[in-house]
Amino acid sequence: MNPTIRKCCSRWLHKALAALAAAAALACCASCSGEPEASNTLRIGVSLYTLDDTFISSVVQNLERTAQEAESHADLKINLSIVDGRSNQTTQLEQVDRFIARGCDILCINIVDRTAAAVVVDKAQEAGVPLIFFNRQPVDEDIRRSSQVYYVGVNAQGNGTLQGRLVLDAWQKDPASIDRNGDGILQYAMLEGEPGHQDALLRTEYSVKALTDAEVSVEKLASDTANWNRGQASARVSLWIQEFGDQIEVIFANNDDMALGAIDALKEAGISPLPLIVGVDATAPALESIAAGELYGTVLNDADGMARSMVDLSLALWSGSDPSEAVNLQDGHYVWLPYRKVTQDNLSEFMTP
Ligand code: BGC
Ligand code: CA
């Protein structure tokens, strides 16, 4: 997060938490998880599209840590009830019903199927519970169905463009090190995330557009979905190696896990040097791979900022404060997190000691 934003949020948070602590009553009610709780407890129901996802697990870890930090500022308890949607929209809708029935104050939904958002909005609105979608972006029309609906995420077009620029920088600096067949054309392969996910569609399009806009000639050798998954990416790339040998010059992966899967397959096939490989997320294993000189670069998908914004926004909505004082709110509904390129040059800024 931009330091100015963070400073302003923490000042706001301090004020809001102090007010909440002063007002905290001792009446009891049921928590999201069904336990009785004092009314100075903020109950947040969080449903994930799946827990079996490196980036989403990191958002969860950050949520837990941020909630603890907020609690330590005041006499306040944040009860996070986190459930796994197991990639099943019906399961997730049941979880939403349960959260509402148990009296959650806020719903944070990482929706399984983006096209099912309207149903969740209607359930939340009927129950009068504010709703925050994150990471998996519903269409704007669904977000605007109610004034109490928000989206916290990263602009997919922007981080796709930055991913393309990582490759563009390397190509402009030393084209010979990338252009294996010396034809002046950049031969690439694309590992796509889950079909229909906004990040898969837009990263795929805008990463390549950053090169063509700069008048670099490109040739797509192969592209396929690997559903954000390392194992699936490794299997796809093994097939591509059979077809193209070492002639793939660049591999774009819509996320880091798939980039790491590509590296697994290339190493297994003994391809050296590796082609230029780029991901998105800046997960811990991806940062290690950059340090080891295998992954060329990635684009930060700010799991920490996402979690912070969700907690700050939840606190504001719960306490009846103006949400735009708590987070950088755009168009009344959206919190867009900043993104950055990560390579060996600035890696130390992203590694936690
Ligand atoms: C991340 C992926 C993740 C997906 C889940 C994307 O923004 O880059 O790593 O699997 O979100 O929805
Ligand atoms: Ca070439």
Nearest atom in ligand 1 to 257's CA: 9
User: Which ligand sits nearest to residue 244's alpha carbon?
Assistant: 2
Residue type (1 letter), 130: P
User: Which ligand sits nearest to residue 153's alpha carbon?
Assistant: 1
Reported pTM: 0.91
Q: What is the arithmetic mean of pLDDT over 302-328?
A: 97
Per-chain residues with Cβ under 5 A from ion ligand 2: 179, 181, 183, 185, 187
In the predicted structure, residue 2 carries a pLDDT above the cut 60: no
Q: Is 227 left (phi over 0), alpha (psi -120 to 50) or beta?
A: left
Distance, in Å, from the CA atom of 212 to the CA atom of 168, rounded to the nearest integer, reads 10
Predicted confidence at residue 13, as pLDDT, reads 55
In the predicted structure, residue 100 carries a pLDDT above the cut 60: yes
In the predicted structure, residue 29 carries a pLDDT above the cut 70: no
Q: Which of 51, 52, 56 to mutate to test the pocket of ligand 1 (most atoms within 8 A of CB)?
A: 56
CA angle, residues 154, 318, 90, in degrees to nearest 5: 60
Measured in Å, residue 226 CA sits from the centre of ligand 2 at 25
Predicted confidence at residue 37, as pLDDT, reads 59
Predicted confidence at residue 14, as pLDDT, reads 53
Is the Cα dihedral 308, 313, 318, 323 positive or negative? positive
Task: Respond yes or no on whether the N-terminal peptide bond of residue 273 is cis (omega within 30° of 0).
Answer: yes
Predicted confidence at residue 141, as pLDDT, reads 97
Q: State whether the beta carbon of 191 lies less than 6 angstroms from ligand 1.
A: no
